[in-house]
Amino acid sequence: MVFTFQHTNGLASITDFVPTVLDWFNVKYPEYNMDGEQVTLTGRSLLPLAANPWDTKNYPYVFSSHDMHEVTMVYPMRVIRNDRFRLIHNINNRAPFPLATDLYENWTFLDILNRTRTGQPTHWFKTLAQYYYRDEWELYDLIADPKELKNLATDPSHKQVLAELQSTLRDWLFQTKDPWRCMPHDMLLGGQCYPMDNHFSDKEKQDHSL
């Protein structure tokens, strides 16, 4: 038996596995009821990409998410990336990033923690404060900055890229009925987002004792 391996720049995730297997066996996608509406699988079959690895126009984005590690360690994140940029939405960014027990007990982390406490260089690409407290939006150029060290979310020259990725990510959240789709600045009620008026600057927080 001879196997042929091919490379593609099309983007895919584990949510595409089920549609691919169902297509392989010519099985109709199941339909589900969510919030009183009929929904179906949001993944994409990878069979067309396998047949033509160079035709990637239908695979321009990939999405991912994080909610919690343990029940006390909730930190919802939603992510979109294309062939060049990754956009991360840290929905609960005002809270410190929670640590899993096994991570805290890891010798590498304990070394970073102890070095930070004693004011020594950590030899890490982030400070401990940067690890704990993250910007609400993080935009990285994966070609120019593969280690994701420079956040471009507030860079005026990347304003259009940011807006396009935010819009596509938001559409995906609504398509998948994501329970966090309105947060952190809006409240989800009856399938709609209603503003909570919680955009306060540091000065406003101080003036109003927030």
The per-residue pLDDT for range 132-149, each reduced to its tens digit, is 999 999 999 999 999 999
CA dihedral 58, 45, 16, 141 (to 10 degrees): -20
- What pTM value is reported for the model? 0.88
With H, G, I as helix, E, B as strand and everything else as coil, classify residue 16. Answer: helix
- Using the predicted structure, report yes or no on whether residue 4 has a pLDDT greater than 90: no
% of the chain residues with pLDDT over 90: 68
Of residues 3 and 75, more confidence is placed in 75
Q: Between β-strands 85-90 and 74-81, what pairing exists: parallel, antiparallel or unpaired?
A: antiparallel
User: pLDDT at position 207, please?
Assistant: 60
The rounded distance, in Å, linking the Cα atoms of 169 and 66 is: 14
d(CA 182, CA 194): 8
CA distance linking residue 27 with residue 180, whole number of Å: 32
What are the structural domain ranges in the chain?
1-60
Is residue 179 helix, strand or coil?
A: coil
Q: What phi, psi does 166 have (nearest 5°)?
A: -60, -45
Measured CA distances, 189 to 178, 192, 197 (Å): 13, 5, 15
The SS3 assignment for 38 reads: strand
pLDDT at 162 over 90: yes
Tell me the pLDDT band of 202, cut-offs 50, 70 and 90.
low
pLDDT tens, position by position, 67-121? 998 888 999 999 999 999 999 999 999 999 998 888 889 999 999 999 999 999 9
Give which of 77, 74, 104 is closest to 89, Cα–Cα: 77
Total residue count of the chain as it appears in this document: 210
pLDDT for res 25: 96
Nearest to 169 by CA among 134, 201, 196, 136: 136
Give per-residue burial for 114-138: e unless 16+ CB within 10 Å, then b: eebeeeeeeeeeeeeeebeebeebb
